[in-house]
Chains A and B, each alone.
Chain A
Amino acid sequence: MTKNALVLFESMTLKRKDLLDISSLSHDEIIYIFEAAKIFKKVFTETNKKFSFLSGRTVCMLFIEPSTRTRLSFEIAAKRLSADVISVAPSTSSLVKGESLIDTVKTLEAMKTGFIIMRHPVSLAPDFLSRNCEAHVINGGDGNHAHPTQALLDGFSVYERTGSLKGLKVAIVGDIKHSRVARSGIELFTKMGSEVVLCGPPTLLPDDFSLYGIEMTFDLDSILPKLDVVNMLRIQLERQKGSLFPSIREYNKYFSLTKDRLKKCRKDVIVMHPGPINRGIEIDDFVADCENAIIEEQVTNGIAVRMAVFSLLCGKTLEDINKEK
């Protein structure tokens, strides 16, 4: 990068109100988020320092679907930036009294909420919400659609080890059909130049992804030796009832990442899992605890990435972050 380009990059910010999905981010914006996350991670893990970027601003966690780790991660990130954080739980909100989503959000806006972090069980709800409110909307996972901060933290976790995602072979394994983590992951890794391969039983692997030119396979063993990264998705046990796979036992046989399967991988393969893990189902104990697995690292990185997203969305630049660190 020339000096001028670097200066330009240093003063870049995310010129958008919301973060709804990965497809609306450019390659450069993603790198920028990664670079900001690097700084935040160092400060977060090594000191107790709080940044002032969200001081006096209210961040509302609107979690219509239950979540523990994503909600905590956003909350810690917002607090590390000095925000006031409030939570709306679906069971205690007026949504259960039949208030529409728009009306709930209008109420939040009337209370001067600057950011709404939304988790919702149906696809495109944050997209719909963002068109009807002034606050920044960050998608914390919607239906089967998108989970952009998860994809960013997954990408960042690989990026900080390899320095680039270009040319990497990344497998996403499991229930692709019902996974927002998979959809956002596909978009992020593809955009950053990785080669994505999807793996799972045909009932959980929609053919339509091939229309986007993405490689798909039912045979996990055949791809293992080629992989740089393997991202194991959580399998939801209730899917079995819908005849999407016949039994956990049979699912394990073909798609579980076991010690034996790990041996077929390259030594430096990175094993990821968005959590929470079903130990012994999609991933066995040995693999979950081995050196290749970066599952806890992902959790730490989640906070750094979310701090970066908050800061960049409210107009801060890398320069600002470096100045305050």
Chain B
Amino acid sequence: MKLCIKNGRVLDPASGLDKTACVNIEDGIIKSIGEAETADETIDAAGKLVLPGLIDLHVHFREPGREDQETIAGGCRIAAKSGYTSVVTMPNTNPPIDNQALVKFIKHEAEKSGLLNIFPAAAVSKGMKGEEISEMGELHTAGAVAFTDDGKPVSSSILMRRALEYSRMFDVPIMAHEEDHLLVDSGVINEGKVSASLGLRGIPNAAEEVMIARDVIIAGLSKGRLHVQHISSGGSVEIIRNAKKRGVKVTCETAPHYFSLTDEVVREKLALAKMNPPLRTEDDRIKIIEGLKDGTIDAIATDHAPHLMNEKRQEIEFAPNGIIGLETAVPLMITKLVKENGLSYNEVFAKVTCNPAKIIKIKKGEIKPGYDADIVIIDPEKKVIINDDFVASNCKNTPFMGAELFGSVECTILSGRITYKA
């Protein structure tokens, strides 16, 4: 089976390639980039971007436990529609992913759907209780690519030390949700001008920053690989920039909402703008974009978190944290980073292709002969309106509802097979 993607603007963030060319695919593998070869099927990509299939280091697909919010099969469909070919699922399901059988179950469900590669993250502690480290070796062998108790922090510093030490045996990252619970002190939104006027309890930047500072220091001590999840504050960028300079093995991700929105939108969107960590100030937003520009922030991950609308349609203090993120990711990256802030396509898309691939050590995220033919075709000038029709996800919990953005995913290809076509 031969497939040829013709005349697109081929972008490969890993090598910096940016030219109009044809991508020839044979039996699911990229064969060459250049002149068109004879093929069984051709796709005309003239005027569009041809990129490595996107990789998301952080999604919640809710299965097992909350299949009413999202299933693995449903999540795979949404990811494909959003231009993604690989994702890392978080283990905070019910039960949590802390044994080999569950890791295999998730991979099996993804294979059954045939729409997406799932690389599960497993719990860093047994039962996600934050007490003892999980069986990392067994879990890694079953297919876990990272360890995290995401959704909550590893509050115990000695557990974090042990996890960062032990994981060196397998060279896998510990992904850390950074939050000092005592400083959060039942806060609801960012602590600042908005929380002061709305009388909502605030979560200070410090709640995130003190834990990141602790963990980069522990990472230096233990020489393990720390990956800091969903950073939201300017101070976090600074701490990680500094740690990288000192040679600490640390990487990090931010989410599209942190470079797109500020806590001001809480006034209008209420619980739809509630997530953890919370939306911060304009100053933080600018520093996050600077961190993306100078490479301090390695990856953009969505933290896709489906919640039913009736769960969000509650008093903001009672509503759960989190928003869906897959479908809005490409439009936000193109609109907010490329168009509004002048980053190049390769700079932006490195954060969702080759960089995350490197963090979880998979041979993906590049358009290069010999690589899996995971590819996405994007029309960067086509406008999308985020509305009920556009959002195919079972859950519509997004503060971007009503937004008009640039960047439409036209086609997603997984190992040479089309998994989505607009």
Question: Which residues of A are in contact with B by a Cβ distance under 8 Å?
Answer: 23, 100-102, 120, 122-125, 127-128, 132, 142-146, 180, 183, 206, 208-209, 211-212
B382 within 8 A of A: no
Of B97-105, B224-232, B310-318, the one touching chain A = B310-318
| CB-CB under 8 A for A132 and B313, given A124-B198, A124-B200, A144-B199 | yes
Residues in A whose Cβ lies below 8 Å from that of B271: 128
Residues in B whose Cβ lies below 8 Å from that of A123: 188, 198-200, 316-317
Q: Are B199 and A146 in contact (CB under 8 A)?
A: yes
* A208: contacting residue among B193, B201, B310, B313, CB under 8 A: B193
* A183: contacting residue among B191, B192, B199, B310, CB under 8 A: B199
Residues in B whose Cβ lies below 8 Å from that of A23: 197
Q: Are A100 and B314 in contact (CB under 8 A)?
A: yes
B384 within 8 A of A: no
A100 to B384, CA, bound (A): 34
Q: Are B193 and A143 in contact (CB under 8 A)?
A: no
Residues in B whose Cβ lies below 8 Å from that of A144: 199-201
Write the nearest CB–CB distance from A25 to chain B, whole angstroms: 15
Q: Are A212 and B200 in contact (CB under 8 A)?
A: no
B195 within 8 A of A: yes
Write the nearest CB–CB distance from A155 to chain B, whole angstroms: 18
Q: Are A101 and B197 in contact (CB under 8 A)?
A: no
Contact residues of B between 193 and 213, Cβ < 8 Å to A: 193, 195-202
A209 to B198, CA, bound (A): 11
Most buried by A among B191, B315, B317: B315
Residues in A whose Cβ lies below 8 Å from that of B193: 208, 211-212
Write the nearest CB–CB distance from B204 to chain A, whole angstroms: 10
The 5 nearest A-B residue pairs measured at CB: A144-B199, A145-B199, A208-B196, A122-B317, A125-B315
* B270: contacting residue among A100, A128, A143, A212, CB under 8 A: A128
Q: Are A180 and B196 in contact (CB under 8 A)?
A: no
List 7 other contacts, CB 8 Å, given A124-B198, A208-B193.
Answer: A123-B316, A124-B316, A128-B271, A128-B314, A144-B199, A144-B200, A206-B191
A112 to B188, CA, bound (A): 34
Q: Are B317 and A102 in contact (CB under 8 A)?
A: no
A122 to B201, CA, bound (A): 10
Write the nearest CB–CB distance from A32 to chain B, whole angstroms: 24
* A120: contacting residue among B195, B270, B315, CB under 8 A: B315
* A180: contacting residue among B199, B201, B202, CB under 8 A: B199
A183 to B188, CA, bound (A): 18
Q: Are B200 and A143 in contact (CB under 8 A)?
A: yes
- Of all chain B residues, which has the CB nearest A122? B317
A192 to B125, CA, bound (A): 57
Residues in B whose Cβ lies below 8 Å from that of A122: 315-318
Residues in A whose Cβ lies below 8 Å from that of B196: 206, 208-209, 211-212
Q: Are A143 and B317 in contact (CB under 8 A)?
A: yes
Q: Are B198 and A145 in contact (CB under 8 A)?
A: yes
A123 to B314, CA, bound (A): 12
Residues in A whose Cβ lies below 8 Å from that of B188: 123
- Of all chain B residues, which has the CB nearest A179? B199
Residues in A whose Cβ lies below 8 Å from that of B200: 123-124, 143-145
Write the nearest CB–CB distance from A255 to chain B, whole angstroms: 20
Q: Are A208 and B192 in contact (CB under 8 A)?
A: yes
| CB-CB under 8 A for A212 and B197, given A125-B315, A128-B315 | yes
Q: Are B313 and A100 in contact (CB under 8 A)?
A: yes
Q: Are B195 and A208 in contact (CB under 8 A)?
A: yes
A322 to B202, CA, bound (A): 46
Q: Are A101 and B199 in contact (CB under 8 A)?
A: no
Most buried by B among A101, A122, A146: A122
Contact residues of B between 295 and 326, Cβ < 8 Å to A: 310, 313-318
Residues in A whose Cβ lies below 8 Å from that of B316: 122-124, 128
* B199: contacting residue among A102, A132, A143, CB under 8 A: A143
- Of all chain B residues, which has the CB nearest A146? B199
A98 to B59, CA, bound (A): 30
A144 to B196, CA, bound (A): 9
Most buried by B among A124, A142, A146, A211: A124
A303 to B188, CA, bound (A): 34
| CB-CB under 8 A for A101 and B195, given A144-B200, A145-B200 | no
Q: Are B192 and A124 in contact (CB under 8 A)?
A: no
Residues in A whose Cβ lies below 8 Å from that of B313: 100, 102, 128, 132
- Of all chain B residues, which has the CB nearest A184? B199
Q: Are B317 and A101 in contact (CB under 8 A)?
A: no
Residues in A whose Cβ lies below 8 Å from that of B201: 144
Write the nearest CB–CB distance from A204 to chain B, whole angstroms: 13
- Of all chain B residues, which has the CB nearest A209? B196
